[in-house]
């Protein structure tokens, strides 16, 4: 994703999928979303998100499926480490969560949490709009219930 956003073309093998696609979210080692989800996030989050179009192919028919790799441009250092129960390695990345508490001054609609890999956090407002629109495949886990 970083190479593509810098205008460089990494060597990527053709990616195939099996089965019927019935989701608006596709994990490709990053955040892949459908055209509907991409349009929603562009409309609701504006410059806070970027997208790079890509294609995956049906293993059975070789039919292309257009998806959009999503990058969230806001990263917040918003974890209250004193109130949270986390497992953090020396690289500072959070590797386990028993309880996570965010600082109270978070006002963004969409963001990533510094040192927490592979997650996107959205406001209750964005979550409700996603549900109302019928976007499928996203997990909505309240911060106070998020563990791994």
The pLDDT of residue 146 is 87
pLDDT at 17: 85
Counting the structural domains of the chain, the total is 1
pLDDT over threshold 90, residue 45:
yes
For residue 16, the model assigns a pLDDT of: 87
- Looking at per-residue confidence, does 28 or 15 come out higher? 15
pLDDT surpasses 60 at 63:
yes
The candidate with the shortest Cα–Cα distance to 70, out of 145, 144, 143, 138, is: 138
Using alpha carbons, list the distances in angstroms from residue 47 to 53, 54, 96: 16, 20, 31
Q: Give the model confidence (pLDDT) of 98-133 as tens digits.
A: 999 999 889 999 999 999 988 899 999 999 999 999
How far, in Å, CA of 88 to CA of 75, rounded? 18
pTM: 0.83
Confidence class of residue 12 from pLDDT cuts 50, 70 and 90? low
What is the radius of gyration, based on Cα positions, of the chain? 17
Q: How many Cβ atoms are within 10 Å of 74's Cβ, its own excluded?
A: 14
Binning pLDDT at 50, 70 and 90, where does residue 77 land? very high
Write down the residue that tokens 């989701």 correspond to: 23
Assign 2 a pLDDT band (cuts: 50, 70, 90): low
Quickly tell me which residue has 């386990």 as its tokens. 96
- Measured from the Cβ of residue 111, the count of other Cβ atoms closer than 10 Å reads 20
Domain range enclosing 9: 2-145
């Amino acid at each position: 994703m970083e190479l593509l956003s810098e205008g460089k073309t990494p060597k990527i093998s053709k990616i195939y999928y099996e089965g019927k696609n019935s989701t608006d979210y596709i994990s490709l080692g990053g955040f892949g979303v459908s055209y509907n989800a991409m349009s929603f996030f562009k409309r609701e989050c504006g410059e806070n998100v970027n997208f790079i179009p890509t294609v995956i192919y049906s293993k059975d028919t070789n039919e292309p499926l257009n998806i959009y790799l999503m990058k969230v441009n806001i990263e917040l250092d918003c974890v209250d480490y004193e109130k949270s129960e986390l497992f953090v390695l020396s690289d500072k990345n959070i590797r386990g969560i028993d309880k996570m508490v965010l600082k109270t001054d978070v006002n963004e609609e969409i963001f990533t949490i510094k040192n927490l890999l592979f997650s996107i956090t959205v406001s209750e407002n964005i979550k409700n709009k996603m549900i109302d629109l019928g976007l499928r495949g996203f997990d909505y886990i309240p911060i106070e219930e998020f563990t791994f």
